[in-house]
Amino acid sequence: MKAVLRLLLVTTTLVLAGHAFGEVLPTAAPVTVDVSEDRLTRIRTVLQKEIDADRMPGAVVMIARRGQLIYSEAIGFQDKVVGKPMTKDAIFRIYSMTKPLASAAAMMLVEEGRMQLTDPVAKFLPQFAQMDVLVTEN
């Protein structure tokens, strides 16, 4: 469940980042880019369960594939106390996102066969080739 929510958060961040720079993606029906409507429907179901269980107040999900926006939805509340509904243009404070974004990028490279999870960091960042790790005992 946490992995799904993290993936949704990363996807939302990436889509919104493009929007922040004034780029507008063309929209398309999911079927035109080989995405199942049923799979997209499950996103709303999962998010609604999280909202109903008070694990999060709301979310914005936007999914793009092949340069086209295929899913865009706001669900839940921006402010549950005052009943302010979530909007697609809601602004979120997102902290400490470097590791999840780098991890998502690395996994994309793994899927493309351009790297393996067992590759040393120095293969891609030569400045790490001579790094020593300090280990001390108390």
Strand order in the sheet with 58-65: 58-65, 68-79, 84-85
Among 36, 72, 96, 103, which one carries the catalytic annotation?
96
To the query of whether residue 72 is one of the catalytic residues in this protein, the response is no
Classify burial at 61, counting beta carbons within 10 Å of its beta carbon; exposed 0-12, middle 13-18, buried 19 or more. Answer: buried
Amino acid letter, 46: V
Helices (H) and strands (E) in the chain, counts: 3, 3
Q: Enumerate the active-site residues.
A: 96
